[in-house]
Amino acid sequence: MTGQTRWFFDDIHCTRLGDAYGNKPSTRWKANARKFTKNGGPIFWMKSSLVCPDMYNTVWPLSSSEQACVDEAGPGMTCKADPAIRGSTVPRKVNETDADTSKGCERFRTIVGRDEIALNCELGLYFNFTVTDGIISGCPGLEDFYADMQANNGRYAESRETPGGIAGQPGCGKQMLAEPAGSTPVSQIMDEYANNQSTWINDFIPTMEKMMRNGYSVGLSNAPDHNSNVFCPIPILDQPKSNTVCYQKSPPTGKSFMIGSRLSYFNGRVYQYNATSGLFDFGLKSGAANQMWKMSESQTQFINQLTNLPLVVDANVEWTFESFNGDMLITDPLTSLVIDCGKAGLSLPGTPCKTGRRIANTNQIFYQIFN
């Protein structure tokens, strides 16, 4: 919020992206109104960073011009640097400023689909602008925002770097509000917190506790223990369907077994944990630990003997096991969907099973194999 340089992260591996010379990029906040309400609001602020094309993001492939920016980068550079003089073709030097931050290889970019946004009440703690019935004003560059802007349906309202200039951060000064009067202004406090996260957390914790005590004359009492024996796996960013919500751990019990499928495609194969992909799929039967399972003490989980973790399908670990002609159907009790390996059987090896509507076909029928 304070506009400090911050790395730009927009890929599944959280790769740091900066300017052409690999420096932390400049950031800015641009006000927006999409005109969804009667007065043209709601108004919100979007953060963007002055960075090279994101060659690490596999969801949004680079355009031909963006790829050229990367291909033409000098030694040790992230992309080709933009000119320091508008209209020039000479790349800027490391200590020079980009002449046009809306065009070229280095430009202000947002994280598409996961935009960092802020509300007026948040940015108003740092920037000094006026809000009247939700409409912002009082700074150079906020001229597109006015009470009847909804009537102008031709475009979104955006803040501008200067009146009538290109879209960008408006020229608002810092918020000098101080409580009590004469104390440190709120914008200066935000700068202090941005510069030192320890200072922020040391103030936040007692403040949060004070807020929670409001209205309770005898103080706070401990809440019930909701954490013991609860496991919250770290998400696998590029495998969202392999992830699971937090769940209560239940130890394995009883005899070990393998899990087979009645789908003919999986003859000779058993359910396993694939250490290479981090997913559960079917592999050739070997009896290795990654193919061995035990029932949990709660009788609701299959515990893999290699990982000591439960079987995960579509983010669920808790199942009911319905006997079916000597075999079993494995059902999610919350959705009533069953584990279905039909598409996995028709796809490439290593494709995980999904859940689907109960039809009791062979692709939904499993059996246990005891040694």
With the CA atoms of 86, 87, 88 and 93 taken in that order, what torsion angle do they form, in degrees rounded to the nearest 10? 20
CA angle 149, 153, 155 (to 5 degrees): 95
DSSP result, 241-297: GG----EE---EEEEEEEEEESSGGGTTEEEEEETTTTEEEEEE----GGG-EEEET
Residue type, 249: K
Q: What SS3 class is residue 7? A: coil
Residue 359: count of CB within 10 angstroms of its CB: 11
- Token pair 């919350």 is at which residue? 334
Asked if 163 and 275 sit in the same domain, the reply is: no
- Say if residues 137 and 147 touch (Cβ distance below 8 Å): no
Q: Which two tokens stand for residue 238?
A: 């590029």
Q: Which two tokens stand for residue 280?
A: 């559960």
Asked if 319 and 245 sit in the same domain, the reply is: yes
What's the chain's average pLDDT? 91
* Confidence at residue 153, expressed as pLDDT on a 0 to 100 scale: 64
Q: End of a domain among 164, 198, 232?
A: 198
Asked if 116 and 245 sit in the same domain, the reply is: no
* Confidence at residue 154, expressed as pLDDT on a 0 to 100 scale: 64
6-46 pLDDT, tens digit per residue, is 999 988 888 999 999 999 999 999 999 988 888 888 999 99
Give the closest residue to 112 by CA, choosing from 242, 8, 20, 34: 8
Low-confidence ranges of the chain (pLDDT < 50): none
Asked if 184 and 248 sit in the same domain, the reply is: no
In a domain, 157, yes or no: yes
Q: Which two tokens stand for residue 54?
A: 């994101």
Asked if 67 and 158 sit in the same domain, the reply is: yes
- CA dist., res. 141 & res. 289, Å (int): 64
* Confidence at residue 243, expressed as pLDDT on a 0 to 100 scale: 60
Domain that holds residue 360: 240-370
* Confidence at residue 237, expressed as pLDDT on a 0 to 100 scale: 57
Burial class of residue 368, CB neighbours in 10 A (0-12, 13-18, 19+)? middle
Asked if 60 and 127 sit in the same domain, the reply is: yes
Handedness of CA 37, 40, 46, 48 (dihedral sign): positive
In a domain, 232, yes or no: no
Count of the separate structural domains present in the chain:
2
Q: For residue 355, what are the β-bridge partners?
A: 339
